[in-house]
Amino acid sequence: MARSRPHLLLALCVLAAGPAPAAEWEGALKATSRMLVDTNASRDFSDAATGANNGLDGAFSLLGSAEGRGTFERSQLVGRYELGVRKYLGFTDEDTLVQAGALEGSLALGSEFGVGLEGHAKDRRGGSRAYSDLGTSAFVEYAPDVRLALRLRAGARRFVYRPDATANFGGAEVGVLGRYRFDRRHSMSLFGDWGSRGYGTQARTRPGTTVPSPGRREDGALTAGASYNYRGPVALGLTYAYQESSSNSFGETVLRHRVTGNAGLRLPWRMTLLAQGSLGFSTYPDGIFLSPEIILVEEDEGQNSLSLKLARPVTEKVDAEVSWGLWSTRLPRNGLTYTRQVFGVGFTWRD
């Protein structure tokens, strides 16, 4: 998630640091390369009656990331950048280049309060689902002790979906995040976000009616949920989220319930097993969903998924990895299904 206006944030943090004698800097680099087998490289939907899918292909992927943190006397600057490349052998139209970054600057106001600015950006080029997602916000934090932390934010977001300009939107967003740590192993979070999304197209009216269009399409996007994390001999996480996108355009309202779980376990022979799965249930009050391709955008939020990764260090800085992932979903009332599996073998280097 790349953040906007990095020079402004950096300047604020440097000014806030005042005459601090020096800053403390820390950072990390990571790179992962994999050979992949993708059973649905074209990411096509198929008819449930036949289940036919001709998207099998091999691919090479490379993912690199860099993150850093600068701590001053009363302020902090945190940044992260990711670059991903995927090259297919046969479905070259699905070759992709993804960049994402985030930048955050914060200033402490006493021992319990803080304020700051944050920004993010993600850009996906190539393939049939290219998009850009930009956002920025200001926030205030309250942390009276090491157990409790509360953040309130307000900002704006812009989403551009290149294959279909009618899906572009922009608008204001507000959010809240609260974390409570019971002890060193158990913690819980509550979160909520709401955004007003304005589109450049006219809202659709119900078919068969003569009611005039209400004007431009406008959506309200609500997300609320809770998560629990355990850190011990096994790392566990469980998150429930409710998502509601209410629209004045017929067929664009959707309600989702989603549960996500993850686990990390150390195995014999210095191996580590990482697992993550999610289940979602969606309903469409109008009985249809007019933009099925959007399900595959914004981190596959509309799909059920399961992924496994087995890693073992081969040197002090390099791990060998074997991975598998499954994604699936079904569109109601039209018999279309989406299924995709990806098998991978590769290496991860850390600095």
Closest CA to 85 of 49, 52, 113, 127: 127
Q: Tell me, letter by letter, the H, E, C secondary structure of 226-286.
A: EEEEEECCEEEEEEEEEEEEEECCCCCCEEEEEEEEEEEEEECCCEEEEEEEEEEEEECCC
Q: How far are the Cα atoms of 194, 222, 330 from residue 289, in angstroms, in the given order?
A: 22, 18, 11
Q: Work out the pLDDT band at 54, boundaries 50, 70, 90.
A: low
Closest CA to 122 of 164, 74, 80: 80
Whose structure tokens read 């940044």? Answer: 79
HSE (CB half, 13 Å, CA atoms) of 228? 6
The average pLDDT across 11-20 equals: 43
> How far apart are alpha carbons 31 and 246 in whole angstroms?
40
> How far apart are alpha carbons 171 and 220 in whole angstroms?
10
pLDDT digits (tens, 9 = 90+) for 110-162: 889 999 999 999 999 987 788 999 999 999 999 999 999 999 999 999 999 98
pTM equals 0.85
Residue 146 CA, distance from chain mean position:
27
Residue-level pLDDT at 290? 54
> How far apart are alpha carbons 328 and 288 in whole angstroms?
19
The average pLDDT across 176-190 equals: 97
